[in-house]
Amino acid sequence: MNIEAKQLQVDATMRLAPVIPVVIIDDAKHAVSMARALVAGGIPAIEVTLRTPAALDAIRAIAAEVEGAVVGVGTVLTANDLQAAEKAGARFAVSPGVSPRLLAAADDSALPLLPGVATASEAMAMLERGYRHLKFFPAVPAGGTKLLAAWASPLPQLRFCPTGGIALDSAPDFLALPNVLCVGGSWLTPSDKFKSGDWHGVEQLAREAALLKGAISQK
């Protein structure tokens, strides 16, 4: 699959809902219930980060058991991460930044990559490689809405998923920008709801996030 075909897949994933949950999961037994709650609330794309030993098992379970979920992998740092996630059933990959080895592995993988950038130079380098869809990370510390707005005119080809420091109350400011298709956020799956098994609460958070779609125009 060439880069353009993979970019079209990333575009479709980013347009599924206004928020892609960034999930840190400590116990894979919670994965299916969590994903079903998010999907029921209108949030089908789910990024499970490779920050715990349970992550790959969680991706595997969601991919196999949760109808309507589009499960992806986050915190992808190496070629091995990419390969393991693809085998587990991930449908997209997200990285906090980029490296030559990771990009080379992405070229050889069928798994679409949403690479992270924090500067205009990094964004231009990704554009040269054929990437038009990027993660802006860490969004708030790196310059937030003001920086993304400044990029819209000189880099009109690019579309972003800003992630890092974004919450329900600040998400609309990002989604209103012409170059933002969705945001990433961890507030939909807080640790207290995992510990208590409050999947209804997760579904309600997802419903609130799904309503942000009204902030998105045709971009």
Of 4, 6, 29, 47, the catalytic one is 47
State how many domains the chain has. 1
CB atoms under 10 Å from CB of 170, counted, come to: 17
Quote the CA–CA distance of 146 and 66 in Å, as a whole number. 38
Nearest CA to 1 among 130, 126, 98? 130
Of 6, 135, 193, 203, the catalytic one is 135
pLDDT, one tens digit per residue, over 37-64 is 999 999 999 999 999 999 999 999 999 9
Q: Is residue 89 part of a domain?
A: yes
Q: Is residue 97 part of a domain?
A: yes
pLDDT, one tens digit per residue, over 107-134 is 999 999 999 999 999 999 999 999 999 9
- Report the CATH number that the domain containing residue 8 is assigned in CATH: 3.20.20.70
**Which secondary structure element, helix H or strand E, spans residue 141, and what is its range?**
helix 139-142
Q: Is residue 219 part of a domain?
A: no
Look up 203 and say whether it is catalytic. no
Look up 47 and say whether it is catalytic. yes
Extract the residue ranges of the chain whose pLDDT is less than 70. Answer: 214-218
For residue 52, the one-letter residue type is T
Nearest CA to 147 among 127, 174, 115, 181? 174
Structural domain containing residue 157: 3-210
Q: Is residue 218 part of a domain?
A: no
Q: Is residue 217 part of a domain?
A: no
